[in-house]
Chain A
Amino acid sequence: MGITIQQLSVFLENREGRLDEVLAALASNDVNIVALSLADTSDYGMLRMIVSNPNKGRAVLKEIGITAMLTDVVAFRVPHATGSLSKAMHQIVEGDVNIEYMYAFANGVDASAVLKTDDPARVADILRGSGFDVWEAAEAYVSNLDL
C-alpha cells in the first residue's frame, strides 16, 4: 500500500500578484486544487498544494517561470467527529516521530490532514494501526470530488 502522496511546493517571494499568477495558471490548465496552505515568513511564502495532477501542475508552473518542487507527504482521512485529529496526533507523538508541518482540509464526507515527516513509513504504520485511513495517491488527488 502507498504511504505518501506528492505535494506541490512553491517558493514565492513576497511580491504582489505572485500567488494570483500561480492559481490562474493552474486553473487555466485544468489542474484542480484539492488542498492548499500558504506559510509566510518576512521574506517569502511557502505555498503547498495537493492538486489533481502534481506533475502537470509542476510543468504548468515551470512554463510561466515558477519553480515548483514535488514533496512526499502523508495524507490521511480524519472523521468529522470532534477529537479525531487529536487522537491521531496523540498516537504519532507517542510514536516519537517528528512532524515538520501539517495542514487540514474538509471534503464534505469527512476531513483530511496532510503532514510532512522524515519517517513517513513509521507515521503511516502508526496511523493505520490506530484505525486511520492513509490516502493512496491517485485517490487523494481527486478526494474533493463526489465519487
Chain B
Amino acid sequence: MAAVVLENWVERIRNPEIECMSRDEMAALQSKRLANVVNRVYHNVDFYHKKMKALGVEPGDIKGIEDIDKLPFTTKEDLRDNYPFGLLAIPRKDVVRVQGTSGTTGKLTLASYSQKDVDVWGECVARCLTMAGLNEEDIIHICYGYGLFTGGIGLDFGARALGATAIPMSAGNTARQMMCMEDFGATAIACTPSYALHLAESLQEAGLIEQLHIKTGIHGAEPWTEEMRRKIESILHINCFDIYGLCEITGPGVAQDCIHHAGLHINADYFYPEILNPATNKMCADKETGELVFTTLAKEAMPLLRYRTKDLTSIDHSTCRCGRTTPRISQFTGRTDDMKVIRGVNVFPTQVETALLSMGGAVAPHYLMIVERKDNMDILTVMVEVDESLFSDEIRKLDALKNKIGAVLKQALGVSVRVKLVEPKTIQRSEGKAVRVIDKRGL
C-alpha cells in the first residue's frame, strides 16, 4: 500500500523541455555536446589525446553520436592508473570538490568536480526528486553516508537545487534516525534499500509509523528487487523510487524510475548511454541485455568517454507513460566483474586479496567471501585458511590474528567484515578463475 496510488498521482516534470524532448532533438543535442567534449579532452587530457592518436581519430571525425564507436573506452583501471588527478580537463585549482568510491585494489577511485559539475549534479538529482513527487515544501531525511562516497552529498545537492529542506543525517544510529524522523516531520527519506527495510521494521516495532509524515522513499547504491520495494512501501505506506548513479559519472542522479516503475529514466542530455555486448563491443538493440557504457556530455573537470560501468542491463527508448522520452534502463541483471555491494559500499574481491597480502606473507592465504543478508543487513564473512605461515597452536594468537585480519579488511574495504578461520585446503582451488565470492542473497 503506497502513499499515493497511481490513479491519484500527479506527474510533475522539472525540465519538460529536456525530459520530453523528441528523440531527434535529443540526438542533435547529444551530438553537439559529444563533439564538444571530444574536442576538450583531445586538447586537455593527455590520456585521451594519446588514446585517440593511437586509434587515428581526431575531434573532427566525431560529428555526432553516430560516430561514438570510433572513440576509445575508459575503464576503472584507467582511473586507477591516473589517480588522483591525471584525467583532469581543467586546472586543478578549478576543482571545487572531489568524491571517491572503492577501487579494485588499495586506492580509492577518485572523481573531481568543477562548480558547474556540482550544479549539474544537483540539477540531475533535483529532476529525480521531482520525478518522485517532491518539491520545495518537502523535508528530506538523508541517511546515506556523507563523506567521500557520493550518496549523502548527492542527495544533499539535489535537495538544495530543489529548494527542499535537507536533513543531513548520514548513516547509522537507527535510534537517532527514528527520533529525528519523528521530530522534524520528514516527508521523504533517502537511504539504501536494505537500510530502508531495516528502518521500516525498527519503526514498526517502535510503533512510530503512524506518527510519521514520510510519503516518499528514494533508494539506491545497491541492487534491490521488486519484492523489496513492495515490502518497504507496504510497511511505511510510501512510494519508493530507485535512484541510480556512479561516482565516476557523477554520483546518484544519473537515472531514476518514475511512478510507473518501468525502468530508470536516464538524464541523457548529460549522460549518453550505450548498451554494448561485452564480448564484441557492438551496440545491443533495445531490450537486449549488455554492458552499460556512459559518456559524460557536459562534465568539465573529469569528463569520461565511453566509461565501462560493468553493469548489465537493457535500454528502452520508447516514450514512458509518465510523458518522459528519456531512455530507460531496466533493473540490473548482474555485472561483468565480481564486485559486490555490501551495505551500500562497493567491494571487490581483489581488495581482500591486496589487504591479506599486506599482512606480510609472501603469498596471500586462500580466502573465500560469503555474502548473506540477515535482518535486512548485509553481512560479509571472509573465510581465511590457516596455512602453515599463519598457524599457531595458541588460541590467544589465533584470536589476535583473526582480529588483525578483521581490522585490516575493515580499513581496506570500508565496511566491517566477519572473519572465520578455516582449515587449510578446505577452500576449493580451481584451474581457471577462482570462485572468490559466494553471494547467498539472491538479488
Chain A residues with CB under 8 Å of chain B are 7, 9, 11-13, 39, 41, 43-44, 46, 48, 65-67, 69, 71, 100-101, 116
Contact = CB atoms under 8 A, between A and B. Distances in A.
A9 B392 CA distance: 9
A12 B386 CA distance: 10
Given A67-B388, A69-B388, A12 B423 contact: yes
Contacts of A71: 393
Given A48-B393, A67-B388, A11 B399 contact: no
A100 B425 contact: no
The 7 closest A-B pairs by CB, nearest first: A9-B393, A67-B424, A71-B393, A100-B394, A11-B386, A13-B423, A69-B391
A16 to B, nearest CB: 14
Interface in B392-439: 393-396, 398-399, 402, 420-426
Given A13-B422, A67-B423, A67-B425, A46 B386 contact: no
Contact of B394 (A12, A44, A67, A101): A101
Contacts of A43: 402, 420-421
Nearest to A66: B423
Nearest to B424: A67
Contacts of B422: 13, 44
9 contacts: A9-B393, A11-B391, A11-B424, A13-B423, A44-B421, A46-B393, A67-B386, A67-B425, A69-B393
Contacts of A48: 393
A110 to B, nearest CB: 26
A13 B393 contact: no
A43 to B, nearest CB: 6
B216 to A, nearest CB: 43
Contact of B393 (A41, A65, A66, A116): A116
Contact of A116 (B394, B398, B425): B394
A41 B117 CA distance: 54
Contacts of B398: 11, 41, 44, 46
Nearest to B426: A13
Given A41-B399, A67-B388, A69-B388, A11 B421 contact: yes
Given A11-B421, A39-B395, 15 more contacts: A7-B393, A11-B386, A11-B423, A43-B402, A43-B420, A44-B398, A44-B421, A67-B387, A67-B391, A67-B423, A67-B424, A71-B393, A101-B394, A101-B395, A116-B394
A48 B402 CA distance: 20
Contacts of A7: 393
Contacts of B402: 43
A113 B424 CA distance: 30
A18 B393 CA distance: 17
Contacts of B394: 100-101, 116
A46 B426 contact: no
Nearest to A65: B425
A13 to B, nearest CB: 5
A67 B116 CA distance: 61
Contacts of B388: 67, 69
Nearest to A67: B424
Contacts of A41: 395, 398-399
A100 B387 CA distance: 21
Interface string B7-44: 00000000000000000000000000000000000000
